[in-house]
């Protein structure tokens, strides 16, 4: 059974024009811009480890 949790009030967003990412789908990314690397590092420190796309 799927585990449920409350979504945080603020979810960082990684803009990805033209891409369709369905729930539980995988999409390999090559992050190289410092602002997105910093966003990912910050998100990995949270309990939810969640970003929007």
Average pLDDT over residues 5-32: 87
Average pLDDT over residues 8-25: 87
Q: Give 1 or 25, the one with higher predicted confidence.
A: 25
pLDDT of residue 43: 93
Share of the chain above pLDDT 70, in %: 98
Whole-angstrom Cα distance, residue 21 to residue 13?
13
pLDDT of residue 3: 76
Q: Which residue matches tokens 């033209």?
A: 18
b/e per residue 25-49 (b: at least 16 CB within 10 A):
eeeeeeeeeeeeeebeeeeeeeeee
Nearest Cα residue to 24 out of 5, 2, 40: 2
pLDDT of residue 1: 66
Q: Is the pTM of this model over 0.75?
A: no
Whole-angstrom Cα distance, residue 22 to residue 53?
10
């Amino acid at each position: 059974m799927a585990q449920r949790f409350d979504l945080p009030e603020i979810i960082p967003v990684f803009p990805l024009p033209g891409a369709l990412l369905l729930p539980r789908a995988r999409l390999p990314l090559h992050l190289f811009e410092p602002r997105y690397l910093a966003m990912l590092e910050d998100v990995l420190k949270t309990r939810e480890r969640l970003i929007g796309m």
